[in-house]
Amino acid sequence: MENLPSILTPDLGLLFWMLLAFLVVFFCLARFGFPVIIKMVDERKQYIDESLGKAHEASERLAHIKQEGEALLQEAREQQAKIMKEAAMTRDAIVEQAQDKAHEESARLISEAKKQIEIEKQAAIRDIRSQVAELSIQVAEKILQEKLSNDKSQMELIDRLLDKVSKRENKD
Amino acid sequence: MFPLQLFAVHSTGKGELNISEIVLEHLSDDYEWHIASYGGKTISIPLPIIVKSSVTGQWSFCTPKTLPSNFFFDSAHHGKIFEKMPDGNNVRPIDLSITKAVAQIWIVVFILLGIFAYCARWYKHRDMKSLAPGGFVGAMEMMVMTINDDVVKSSIGEKHHKTYAPYLLTVFFFILTTNLIGLIPIFPGGANVTGNINITLFLAVCTMIVVNLFGNKEYWKDIFWPHVPLFLKAPIPLMPLIELFGVFTKPFALMIRLFANMMAGHAVILSFTCVIFLGWSMGVGFGLGLNTFSIIMLLFMNCLELLVAFVQAYVFTLLSAVFIGLAHKEEAAE
């Protein structure tokens, strides 16, 4: 024990300085060194965890929104189809109505025209009749002036004419 | 370790190499920081000597060259400072000198403080939303979090690990930095610190204090009244005795493991370096063969020591964490 190499001999001076140096390094590092690093890493870990959670939530929400959007689109499509159908129906109805009205109008016009024609015809017939009567009177007058020389034949003719006229009158 | 000047120092004149002495001398603490020797001249940084005289009780501050006459470097005690007493005896005075190992420890302290001050400053200007650090700060963050999560948290448990993490992280980075800087053969490194029993003793005692001071009821119950058949603990307290012994052997094993590994690594590298000089003293043919072999082995050993430097720091931290974890056993665990 007396003469061991110095690396095997306890030495007060070395132990003293070692204690001092170790305390210095321990207090400095334990206060300003390691806690800073460990705290930062822990905080970063927490932050990353939180961010991951948020990202998950966001993607979920996005998926939800997509679903909702699709549903909305589907609904819109259905609505569109319905509106189109209604529009077609309305159009058909309008066309039909218009046709009906046109029919009615044309019928009315035709019937009015027919009435007008009837009236015109009546007027024309009347006109012709009066003209025929006048003509026949003039013809009769001329015939009478020229050919009626005796009373007897005159009378006979008048009778015959009267008969004919009355017959026609009865016929009409 | 200053392999390059070994030859110049130890073999000039004598022509013979005492390898074990050279190796031991380079492993040992010293009162000056030897840099190089060339042509009989020695370049070294004198380190302050602080001793208290046992006779007068007076503190002396000096360098190796201006040592007061009542003190001397005792070559019989590996060059430690001794004091001549008036009665003719030689005694070891109280010696608080800044030796090579002490200087090396302070260099490590400043490196560690510098590194973590740099990292802390990086974090100061950022918050949790900024990107994770890259480069050097990222590497430090990765190391800190590896030790914190894989070693401390998994060994001690979720409940208590926050209390002990700073201590264990400090131990890890202190040992790692000291080991690595000890592998650099030139000035700011090279001193054999973790291969000195005082350092490992101190670290092991720290762990022992932490374990036993903060151990819970369950831990002490396991020592004095363990779960073994009754005849093993009463009337003769056989198991409690063994358990109590274990309280001291655990940190003792920590101390020896780190010391022996680092010391042995340094010793092997130094020995291979010496073989280079030994080879040349045996002739050119021998020299070339041995040198090739030594250089390959040196490179291999240095790579291995890089690994060992990390592994030993890791193992010390891991075992300390496990012992602390055992001292915080939950009652339901049995």
Chain A residues with at least one Cβ partner in B under 8 Å: 3, 5-19, 21-22, 24-26, 28-30, 32-38, 40-41, 43-44, 46-47
Neighbours of B251 (CB within 10 A): 24
Residue A43 clears pLDDT 70, i.e. is over it: yes
Closest C-alpha among B275, B298, B301 to residue B288: B275
Q: Which amino acid is at B125?
A: H
B65 and B174 fall within a common domain: no
Report pLDDT for B6: 43
Taking only the tens place, the pLDDT of each residue in B86-139 is 888 888 888 888 989 999 999 999 999 999 999 999 888 888 788 888 899 999
Based on the fold, state whether residues B198 and B82 are members of the same structural domain: no
User: How many Cβ contacts (< 8 angstroms) between chains A and B?
Assistant: 136
Q: What is the pLDDT of residues B60-84, one digit of tens each?
A: 888 888 888 888 888 877 888 888 8
Residues of A in contact with B202 (CB under 8 A): 15, 18-19, 22
- Banded model confidence at residue B221, pLDDT cuts 50, 70, 90: confident
Task: Report the pLDDT value the prediction gives residue A102, as an integer from 0 to 100.
Answer: 95
Amino acid at B197: I
Mean per-residue pLDDT over chain B, rounded: 86
B201 plus B185 within the same structural domain: yes
Q: Are residues B269 and B306 in the same domain?
A: yes
pLDDT tier at B3 (50, 70, 90 boundaries)? very low
In chain A, what percentage of residues exceed pLDDT 70? Answer: 95
Q: Do B126 and B53 lie in a common domain?
A: no
How far apart CA B262 and CA B172 sit, in angstroms, is 15
Return the pLDDT at A110. Answer: 94
Regarding whether B264 and B120 lie in a shared domain, the answer is yes
Contact residues for B333 (Cβ-Cβ < 8 A; gap 6+): B218
Q: Are residues B250 and B302 in the same domain?
A: yes
Nearest by CB to A47, which of B128, B196, B201?
B128
Residues B73 and B140 in one domain: no
Name the 3-class secondary structure at B85: coil
Domain boundary among B97, B121, B155: B97
Query: Predicted confidence band at A11 (pLDDT cuts at 50, 70, 90)?
Result: confident
Verify whether the Cβ–Cβ distance A38 to B148 is below 8 Å. yes
The number of distinct structural domains making up chain B is: 2
DSSP state of B92: P
Per-residue pLDDT at B5: 42
For chain A, the structural domain boundaries read: 9-171
**Closest partner CB to B28 (pick from A7, A16, A43):** A7
Higher pLDDT, B3 or B39: B39
pLDDT at A147: 66
CA A62 to chain centre: 33
**Do the bridges between strand B80-84 and strand B90-91 make them parallel or antiparallel, or are there none, so unpaired?**
antiparallel
In the prediction, which pLDDT does B232 show?
A: 81
Mean pLDDT, rounded, of chain A: 89
Among residues 40-69 of chain B, which lie with CB inside 8 Å of chain A? 50
As beta bridge partners, residue B50 has B61
Domain-embedded: residue B310: yes
Tell me which chain B residue has its CA closest to the CA of residue A34.
Answer: B166
Question: 0.90 cut: is pTM over it?
Answer: no
Residues B288 and B148 in one domain: yes
pLDDT in tens, B280-315: 777 788 788 888 888 999 999 999 999 999 999 999
Look up the ipTM and state it: 0.87
Q: Is residue B15 part of a domain?
A: no
CB contacts of B77 in chain A (<8 Å) are: 3
Contact B102 A32 (CB under 8 A): no
Does residue B33 lie in a domain region? no
DSSP state of B148: I
For range A10-20, the mean pLDDT: 90
Chain B segment 289-328 residues within 8 A of A by beta carbon are: none
Is the domain of B177 the same as that of B72? no
Locus of tokens 């004091």: B83
Contact B59, B75 (CB under 8 A): no
**Residue B232: inside a domain, yes or no?**
yes
pLDDT of residue A20: 94
Pairwise CA distance, residues B170 & B147, whole Å: 11
- Cβ contacts of B269 within 8 Å, gap of 6 or more: B1, B298, B301, B302, B305
Question: Nearest by CB to A5, which of B24, B112, B116?
Answer: B24
Mean pLDDT of B33-43: 81
By Cβ distance, the residue of A8, A22, A34 closest to B166 is A34
Distance CA B33, CA B44 (A): 5
| Helix, coil or strand: residue B158 | coil
Q: Same domain, yes or no, for B153 and B106?
A: yes
* Domain shared by B218 and B309, yes or no: yes
- Model confidence at A15: pLDDT above 50: yes
Residue range(s) defining the domain that contains residue B92: 48-97
Contacts of residue A14 in chain B, CB cutoff 8 Å? Answer: 29, 99, 101-102, 196, 198-199
In this complex, which of A9, A14, A41 lies closest to B99 when CB atoms are compared? A14
Q: Which amino acid would we find at residue A33?
A: G
Residue B1 has pLDDT above 60, yes or no: no
Find which of A26, A40, A44 to mutate to test the B interface (most B CBs within 10 Å of its CB): A40
Out of A5-14, A143-152, B79-88, least confident range:
A143-152
Residue of A nearest to B141 (CA): A37
Percent of chain A residues past pLDDT 90, beyond the cut: 59
- Name the closest residue on chain A to residue B145, using Cα atoms: A38
pLDDT in tens, A81-110: 999 999 999 999 999 999 999 999 999 999
For residues B175-200, one letter each, b for 16 or more C-beta atoms within 10 angstroms of the residue's C-beta and e for the rest, the string is bbbbbbbbbeeeeebbbbbbbbbbbb
Determine whether the interchain pair A6/B78 forms a contact, defined as Cβ–Cβ distance below 8 Å.
yes
The count of other CB atoms within 10 Å of the CB of residue B278 is 20
Q: Is the pLDDT of residue A150 over 80?
A: no
